[in-house]
Amino acid sequence: MQQFFNTALTGLTLGMVYAAFALALVLIWRSTRIVNFAQAPMAMLTTFVALVVIDAGYSYWLGFVAALVSGLVLGAVIERVVIRPVEGKAEINAVILTLGLFIVLHGLAAVIFGNRYRSFPAPFGLEGLTVGGTTIALNGFGVFTIVSVLVVMGLLVALFRYTDVGLRMRASAFNQEVARLLGVKVGAMLTLGWALASVVGSLAGLLIAGGSLVHPSYMDSVVVFGFVAAVLGGLDSPLGAVVGGLILGVSLSFVSGYVGSQLVALAALVILMLVLTLKPGGLFAQAPERRV
Amino acid sequence: MRDRIVSLRRHVLARHLFLALVGLLVVVVVVESVSDYRNTQLASMAYLGIAAGGLTVLTGINGQISLGHGALMAIGAYTSALLLPDRDATVPLTVVVLAAVAVTLVVGAAVGLAAARLHGPYLAGATLALAVAVPGIALYFKETLGGEQGLRVVMPDIPVWVLDAVFFVTGQDLTRSRFTAYVGWLTLIVVFLLLANLSAGRTGRRWRAVRDDEVSAELAGIDLGRARVSAFMVSAAAAGAAGAILAFTVKLAAPSAFTLTLSLTLLAAIVLGGLGSLAGALIGAALLTFLPSVVTDIGRNAGLSDIQAAELAPLVYGLVMVAVILLAPTGIVGSLRSGLQRARSRRRTTSPTTTSKGTAS
């Protein structure tokens, strides 16, 4: 029973991270109809930025902020310079482009920061918390993970629902032509969308890295999990991405705990195929519409 | 009219056979005149070329993308490794390659059936998941598949008649690495011959029709699903053969050889060469094989450490890949072709300019 409970808890914590990553993918998909496979190395690169700041003797929090800010800049620059020319073109070109970026950022990180494992600090204890005399599989950093993802989601909801900029971003995502006619600077909104998504992705990267090892390819499997989570939620819905992330996190945690951690990625593949075959629009799809 | 079409088709086959023969001659000359080290490189180029050839048919001609070809190569390589466990294995290499192709074909059919329903980013994501998932299987079934260490591949002794035949033709003794290079390049020539014929014929026209316009293709009586699945199976079979050659070359089938990087690298190869052209796939494979050492040397001379310089190569072809998509979406071969066409039409000022097709859409 205790193992069951702990596996579920670990899954929920991981699920929060996958949810954040899926959210980053969904934000970009909604505005530009591109799945940004380069999200993983982008997050990896910003995590390395944090590591450099922390290794230089500054506090974890300065590194944390540095990573998020560099994520913001990186996302905006990549959208403006590389992605803009293929927006609205054949979708396979955009897919290949993000994969090319994947290789570039990977190589860049390996050249600058070295192709080896480095440990990344965590700001809170990694000892399991004690509840009623038993230690549970949730530590201080896990609590921080859950809280920070929730805070970011709250901020995003507030941005999209209550601010002028958020409204404009929603308008550009909904219909570029009409938004442009109404005086929205669609280009700037798309850049902002990519920048925000990149910040959320960086957060996911930092949360995965905390108390663990970083390496140029440490996010590679996370992009798969984030994608599966986003597809679970329908790829179009931020709320769906969060629920999808949690479902995926818990399921994968059970596979890892009861079957074997080597088969986690295979389980993700099976879940993805099941969703795409049975409910291609995601778990919450209502309108029967061809997407896949 | 009918006669003319038939003669034209014969003509295509004759041209492919002629090219294959010329290729064979070039291979013999090159393999015999370079060192053992270069021959190992040539064998690597062969397996990259075979896999890239399969992928370029899938992506360039049928318009499906696959990031799972590294995983399919892994299946071919593990099949070969299981058939060649020690020196006593009596399975001829041809049978090993065919077995690798057969197993990968079955897996490819399963993946293709699932993939036929998907397009664009969904397909990319699903095959990406495949690429990440397959190495885990080898880790999980440690007893049969060797876990992290992988399986050793023991090449059988070179048959005596091959030794005699090669000595008769070239007057040199056949070394083992030369033999591997021959096996790799013979396989490549056979695979490319088959792929070229398939894509020049009726099957290839169907694949292209499905790529260019699903609705028109369906109206013309083409079964979309069947066309997609058959393209995926053919492509997977090529990846299986490539996996077998990889196993022969590196003499090991281990999960670390089949990372996501391998799949992405194959994609880079076909994008660099030009989507949909087998010559482009070969150029891409050559770049992937020989560029790294050049780039590494340049990096070292520029003052980078050895480890850093070794990481420059992927950076360079990633950059080139991005540049190709942004500037010349038809790749090296496509750009050359349209350049030639433009030059030709300039000479014959009367003829209308035919714009070459963009990337598979």
Q: What is the CATH number of the domain that holds B201?
A: 1.10.3470
Structure tokens at A149: 């993802």
Residue A270 C-beta-side C-alpha neighbours within 13 Å: 9
> Positive or negative CA dihedral for A226, A251, A292, B109?
positive
Beta carbon pairs, A and B, within 8 Å: 163
Query: Across the strands, what pairs with A135?
Result: A130
What pLDDT does B274 receive? 79
Q: Could you list the residue range(s) of the whole structural domain that residue B200 is in?
A: 2-259
* pLDDT tens for chain B, residues 1 to 361: 556 555 555 678 888 888 888 888 888 888 888 888 888 899 999 999 999 999 999 988 888 889 999 999 999 999 999 998 877 777 888 899 999 999 999 999 988 888 888 877 888 889 999 999 998 888 888 888 888 888 888 888 888 888 888 888 777 778 888 889 999 999 999 999 999 999 888 999 999 998 888 889 989 888 888 999 999 999 999 999 999 999 999 988 888 888 888 898 898 888 888 787 888 899 989 988 888 888 888 888 887 777 778 788 888 888 888 888 888 766 667 777 777 777 777 776 554 444 444 444 3
8-state DSSP, B351: S
Give the closest of B65, B129, B140 to A268, CB-based. Answer: B129
Q: CA of A131 to nearest chain B CA: how many angstroms apart?
A: 34
Domain borders along chain A are 2-123+131-219
Of the residues B305, B315, B319, the best mutation for testing chain A's interface (the one with the most A CB atoms within 10 Å of its CB) is B315
**Cβ contact B132–A265 (<8 Å):** yes
For residues A244 and A27, give the distance between their C-alpha atoms in angstroms, rounded to a whole number: 15
Give the closest of A91, A103, A264 to B314, CB-based. Answer: A103
**Cβ contact B129–A227 (<8 Å):** yes
B276 within domain boundaries = no
What pLDDT does A199 receive? 95
B67 contacts chain A (CB < 8 A) = yes
ipTM of the complex in this document: 0.86
Give the closest of A93, A108, A231 to B325, CB-based. Answer: A93
B300 within domain boundaries = no
Q: Which pLDDT tens digit goes with each residue over A180-211?
A: 898 888 889 999 999 999 999 999 999 999 88
Q: What is the mean pLDDT of residues A77-92?
A: 85
For residues A54 and A46, give the distance between their C-alpha atoms in angstroms, rounded to a whole number: 12
What pLDDT does A40 receive? 92
B322 within domain boundaries = no
Which residues of chain A have a CB within 8 Å of the CB of B139? 262
B120 contacts chain A (CB < 8 A) = yes
For residues A192 and A198, give the distance between their C-alpha atoms in angstroms, rounded to a whole number: 10
With beta carbons less than 8 A apart as the criterion, state whether A252 and A264 touch: yes
- Give how many domains chain B has, as a whole number: 1
With beta carbons less than 8 A apart as the criterion, state whether B195 and B57 touch: yes
Query: Across the strands, what pairs with B253?
Result: B151
Q: CA of A83 to nearest chain B CA: how many angstroms apart?
A: 9
Which residues of chain A have a CB within 8 Å of the CB of B145? none
Of the residues B258, B266, B322, B324, the best mutation for testing chain A's interface (the one with the most A CB atoms within 10 Å of its CB) is B322
With beta carbons less than 8 A apart as the criterion, state whether B241 and B186 touch: no
Lowest mean pLDDT among A110-114, A136-140, A151-155, B246-250: A136-140
For residues A33 and A91, give the distance between their C-alpha atoms in angstroms, rounded to a whole number: 8
Q: CA of A30 to nearest chain B CA: how many angstroms apart?
A: 13
Q: Compute CA distances B211 → A97, A170, B45, B165, B192, whole Å.
A: 19, 33, 29, 45, 21
Q: With 60 as the cut, is the pLDDT of residue A284 above it?
A: yes
Lowest mean pLDDT among A68-82, A151-165, B80-94, B324-338: B324-338
Coil, helix or strand for B174? coil
